């Protein structure tokens, strides 16, 4: 009976915590759909706020997606070969580089953004382009990609795989594509999930880096909260959820699929 009591208590506590976390989200969704949040359900429901948000802010949704994808592309291009190079190099130098790459995560986003603006603010075209935001995101997300790939590299015998392929006449670049990349895929997938999620939700850094023409979704959200009625801002949250949840599920499914393929 003691076991049953603790199990029940466990359920209850878990449910309470889940509710505590979910209720604000649900309330927000509800507020975004209600005609007047202050008057409650009696005022009725509407999609007007969502429509208004879409007409005002749809560009931020697309920009967020583009920024996330560009960030992902860059972290893949830099992070995966970079991680392999670091593991291959090994030793103290590689450790120092790894720490340096991780540093931007520890530095407050605002400070990082300020540094970027100080350094590159003078290059007008670059400063005003979406690319400027992407650069900030890459700085911030790169360590997550690299760490995920390094973690997998440390579990596979990459050196022997590489030597095996070399003994069969394969040049270094081909060995990287033929035997290293396919075998670190789980790390790449995990890293990619993290990078996309972080990039889409990033506010801190982006808020400093953006211009009126390069607003991302979270920045637009802050705008809406600050300057519009509560229902509009809440509808914005709803749009964010509608966009992010399918994206995450899709990425996870894609990840599962590739994993199954490697295992079967």
Partner 1 sequence: MNARAEAFTRCGSAITTNALTKTFHGHTVLQPTHLEIASGEILVLLGPSGCGKTTLLRLIAGLEQPDGPNMIRFDGEDVSALPIEKRNVGMVFQSYALFPNMTVAENVGYGLKVKGIRRKQRESETKRLLALVGLEDYADRRITTVSGGQRQRTALARALAIKPRVLLLDEPLAALDAVLRERLRVEIGLLLREFGITAVYVTHDQAEAMAIGDRIAVMQRGRIEQIGAPKAIYHRPANDFVADFVGTMNRLEGRVSDGILAVDAEHTQARLRVGGGDRSAVVCFRPEVARLTAGPGAIRARVIATTFFGATQRLVAEVAPGRQLQLDLASSLHFAPGQIVAFDADPQAIIEFEKDA
Which CB sits closer to partner 1, 4 or 263? 263
Smallest gap from Cβ 152 to partner 1, in A, equals: 12
The H or E element spanning position 92 is helix 91-106
Smallest gap from Cβ 159 to partner 1, in A, equals: 9
Which CB sits closer to partner 1, 179 or 209? 179
Which CB sits closer to partner 1, 84 or 140? 84
Cβ-contact 34, 158 below 8 angstroms: no
Q: Using CB atoms within 10 A of its CB, is residue 34 exposed (0-12), middle (13-18) or buried (19+)?
A: buried
Smallest gap from Cβ 256 to partner 1, in A, equals: 17
Smallest gap from Cβ 257 to partner 1, in A, equals: 15
Cβ-contact 182, 262 below 8 angstroms: yes
Nearest alpha-carbon partner for 162 in 154, 147, 172: 172
Residue numbers at the binding site for partner 1 (CB under 8 A): 156-157, 160-161, 163-172, 174, 178-179, 182-183, 262-264
Q: Using CB atoms within 10 A of its CB, is residue 251 exposed (0-12), middle (13-18) or buried (19+)?
A: middle
Distance of CA 150 to the CA centre of its chain: 19
Which CB sits closer to partner 1, 55 or 264? 264
Smallest gap from Cβ 153 to partner 1, in A, equals: 14
Which CB sits closer to partner 1, 7 or 160? 160
Q: How far apart are CA 165 and CA 116, in angstroms?
A: 42
């Amino acid at each position: 009976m003691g076991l049953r009591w603790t199990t029940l208590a466990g359920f209850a506590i878990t449910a309470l915590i889940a509710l505590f976390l979910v209720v604000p989200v649900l309330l927000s969704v509800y507020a975004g759909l209600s005609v007047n949040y202050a008057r409650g359900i009696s005022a009725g429901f509407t999609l007007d706020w969502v429509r208004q948000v879409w007409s005002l802010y749809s560009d931020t949704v697309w920009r967020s997606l583009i920024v996330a994808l560009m960030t992902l592309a860059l972290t893949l291009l830099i992070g995966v070969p970079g991680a392999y190079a670091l593991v291959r190099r090994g030793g103290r130098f590689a450790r120092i580089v790894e720490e340096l790459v991780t540093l931007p995560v520890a530095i407050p986003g605002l400070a990082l953004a300020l540094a970027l603006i100080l350094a590159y603010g003078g290059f007008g075209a670059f400063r005003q382009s979406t690319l400027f935001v992407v650069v900030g995101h890459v700085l911030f997300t790169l360590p997550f990609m690299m760490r995920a790939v390094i973690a997998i590299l440390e579990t596979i015998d990459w050196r022997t795989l590489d030597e095996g392929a070399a003994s069969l006449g394969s040049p270094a670049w081909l060995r990287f594509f033929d035997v290293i990349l396919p075998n670190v895929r789980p790390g790449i997938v995990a890293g990619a999930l993290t990078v996309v999620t972080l990039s889409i939700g990033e506010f801190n850094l982006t808020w400093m880096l953006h211009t009126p023409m390069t607003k991302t979704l979270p920045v637009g959200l802050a705008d809406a909260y600050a300057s519009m009625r509560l229902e509009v801002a809440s509808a914005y949250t709803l749009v964010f959820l509608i966009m992010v949840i399918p994206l995450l599920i899709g990425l996870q499914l894609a990840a599962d699929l590739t994993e199954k393929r490697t295992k079967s």
